Structure 1
């Protein structure tokens, strides 16, 4: 972390179902307590401001779906490559800007689906996709600063099925079991928490976080908060 006060940029918006304002607001006291100056933006326009991005040590993004311009995603990529940290949770980072291949390339993983309950149990609401599942720490995750000391934990919420590449370092996984009402025939294990080095920058993605109660789960909260600190521009990148 730089010797001067680190600067965090919180970018939020997109689909309101993930409560981007309330969710990001819940982390502002943590950032302020750790000495960050915090700027909050309601759009990705700031990504195209090269001077602002160069002065930013950490970007916390919560923008589900939505769209981004080529200039904006280029600005974000350039900043991360130069050392700006980038982090977020759930759809706010892993299901952002589906039409931007350059964004997907930066993040290294993309939400594909969240399997649902047995059809006869569905009521038509978001709870249809809330499944009990386990988040399992990998060997790397048991040693990494973001997840060290955290044990495997259980959640009942959306379980993300993620498409990803091999440049990510997987700290935790979750496994989708085959069910009679699903078309896949063997268990599928997906990354649930990962980091990525991009140039001089660090990226942390945490897939749990659909709702405020999930963000208050002790393990989820710890991973996200540690991820913010770890991703922040390091002295070697400043």
Structure 2
């Protein structure tokens, strides 16, 4: 099997260090791994036709029309696509075709109370729970796993009902926030696109979050589940 890691974009998500955490897992599971530092490879139809799994870690950045067209065509033909956090759910904001493909877009990560804000990334590190849905309790990616409490960015995501949601997280209605009731966002979802499978996991801001046993298991199982099936 062949896996393609596509990484880059905003360095705050440490795309090199984060993706290299999973190289031993991919190797143990029989993948030959190719690494690219930009989405330019998505325009190479011949490479993507031979790729069984794409692991994307590109936060923000830009993608051209031929690149996103190539990615969509490859997934529709059976290439799996997966990733975590901003590397897949906050990529290529200006491309509606990409957003439709992955099925969800990060919009914010609510912060601490104003009196607790200190002016660095920890302002957005909130303790929150990621809770499996009924579907998630039986799905091969998440079956048997516990709900998990994390202290990191809690993604508020806009999504659609083509997604099969395996886990959610709920943003409370805090006195300093403008929303007036709790808001639940998908935290882990799958998506079928033609013959291809997509898996998105929103936890994964930094390597320490990716090292959490439950988060890492979800991502690794997601890689196997998304991989092209015969």
Is 1:187 aligned with 2:208? no
Deviations 1:136-183 (A, max 9, x none): 000000000000001111000000000000000000000000001100
The aligned counterpart of 2:193 is: 198
Runs of 4+ more than 6 Å apart: none
The aligned counterpart of 1:225 is: 220
**Distance in 1 between the 2:154 and 2:120 partners?**
16
**Distance in 1 between the 2:99 and 2:174 partners?**
29
Q: Structure 2 length normalisation: TM-score?
A: 1.00
Deviations 1:190-215 (A, max 9, x none): 00000000000000000000011000
1:223 Cα deviation from its structure 2 partner: 0.1
The aligned counterpart of 2:122 is: 127
Alignment of 1:76-87 (within 5 A): 76-87=71-82
The aligned counterpart of 1:3 is: none
1:113 Cα deviation from its structure 2 partner: 0.2
Q: Structure 1 length normalisation: TM-score?
A: 0.96
Deviations 1:33-74 (A, max 9, x none): 111000000011100000000000000000000000000000
Aligned residues: 230
**Distance in 2 between the 1:229 and 1:153 partners?**
21
Q: CA RMSD in A?
A: 0.3
The aligned counterpart of 1:52 is: 47
**Distance in 2 between the 1:23 and 1:134 partners?**
22
Equivalent residue for 2:98, pick from 97, 100, 103 = 103
The aligned counterpart of 2:161 is: 166
